[in-house]
Amino acid sequence: MNTRTHRGLTRLEIITLVFIAGAAFCILMPYLASSRNSSRQAQCDRKLQELARTTTFVAQLKDEFPGYSNLRAKHGKLGRLRTGWVFPLLPFISRPIDPVTLEPPGPDVLGPRADIHLKYGPAGEDEVRGQEPDRYLPELVCPADPRLASSKRLALLTYVANCGLPDAQGARESAGDLLPDGPESGVFLDKFPEWKEPYQLTIPEIEAADGSEFTLLFSENIDASLWTDATEPQVGFVWSVNDGLADPVAMADGALADGAQLSDEQKGWLREMPSVLPMNAERGQGDRSSLKYARPSSMHGDGVMVVYVDGHTRWTSDKIDPRIFQHQMTPMGTKVRFPGTEVPMPEPWREVRE
């Protein structure tokens, strides 16, 4: 008979094993976190590329970029319904790419989100198209967005559009000849009103000016609102000449030709032009109705993911000189003017180069 006894682990051995396991976990934890963050950033990168590809396809198809605010449909009781930049893209989001040519299919092939456009757009039934679509679209949300863990709002939006300068609200409401902002300062503008001379910005115009590889299209903003909204702070990011240090009225007066003057109304619009927080400032704390928070922000470290009109992405440090970032936002930087006026924007806004 085998009389050898089998003993268990001693208390010291158990403590030693627990200590070794804990030490190993502590050593591996930063690598696991880094791997997870890298995976999320890679997913974010792919989503931005897809959005850029879809947007430029629609811009070529329609011969102009969609606005940050667009006509969604007309409803008998509610009149004209407004929607953001996502809605015009819905029929073409997430379409399959040809594995050989790596090109998207033609305009007759629609994607899985086309049903939303059909249901709530111009062709939808009257009682339905007056409602707001409330659909979660993973294509529009960065996996690192902290709101994913707590938000129950299905129409969440992480990626925001380059809206240029904040609109001069007085000019927008007056419906006069002067536009509240122009296509030289940003890509996505207000297309909802029926302007006397409507906005129109095309890819060839950008190519002929600053170039699509130097013009920003989308960035992240974890303080954005819903993709169904349609105001600049909710669905876009902006830049402002009003940094709290310079007086926009004095700047505009200095750029006027001899004998020219700003009207008191225009001076009022410029004084009301809001300043915008720096990139990543107060992230996760934003008032989604305030232009103050219409700036890039993310959880990808000390920077954000952005994509340009030509489709290439870049992680951009939040320490970037604001003037350089603003120059990248302007598709036609040498033609930038003060919103609501015909006054050209003076240096240094034109002359910064990367």
| Paired tokens of 219 | 């960035």
| Paired tokens of 220 | 């992240």
pLDDT at position 26:
79
Average pLDDT for consecutive 10-residue bins of the chain (354 residues)?
A: 60 79 75 70 95 96 94 84 96 88 84 95 88 92 90 87 90 70 92 77 95 97 95 94 73 75 83 89 89 95 96 95 90 88 70 41
Residue for token pair 């419906």: 175
Cβ-contact 237, 162 below 8 angstroms: yes
Q: How far apart are the first and last CA of the chain?
A: 85
Residues 242, 297: Cα–Cα separation, whole Å = 20
Residues 336, 328: Cα–Cα separation, whole Å = 12
pLDDT at position 33:
53
Residue type at 127? E
pLDDT at position 117:
96
pLDDT at position 239:
92
Burial call 108-147: b when 16+ CB within 10 Å, e when fewer = eebbebbebbeebbeebeeeebbeebebebebbbbbbbeb
Tell me the H-state helices in the chain: 11-62, 114-120, 126-129, 169-174, 203-208, 232-235, 248-255, 264-271, 322-329
What is the CA angle 198-192-137, rounded to 5?
130
CA 144 to chain CA mean position, Å: 16
Cβ-contact 230, 353 below 8 angstroms: no
pLDDT at position 90:
97
| Paired tokens of 22 | 């804990």
Residues 337, 341: Cα–Cα separation, whole Å = 7
Q: Which residues have CB under 8 Å from 78's CB, separation 6+?
A: 130
Per DSSP, the three-state class of 309 is: coil
Q: What is the dihedral of CA 216, 319, 157, 90, to 10 degrees?
A: 10
**Which residues is 338 bridged to in the sheet?**
none
pLDDT at position 221:
97
Per DSSP (E only), the strands in the chain are 70-75, 79-83, 159-164, 216-220, 236-238, 303-308, 313-317
Whether the CA torsion 218, 224, 228, 233 is positive or negative: it is: negative
What is the CA angle 237-240-243, rounded to 5?
125
DSSP state for residue 146 in the 8-state scheme: G
**Which residues is 160 bridged to in the sheet?**
219
Nearest alpha-carbon partner for 83 in 1, 167, 155: 155
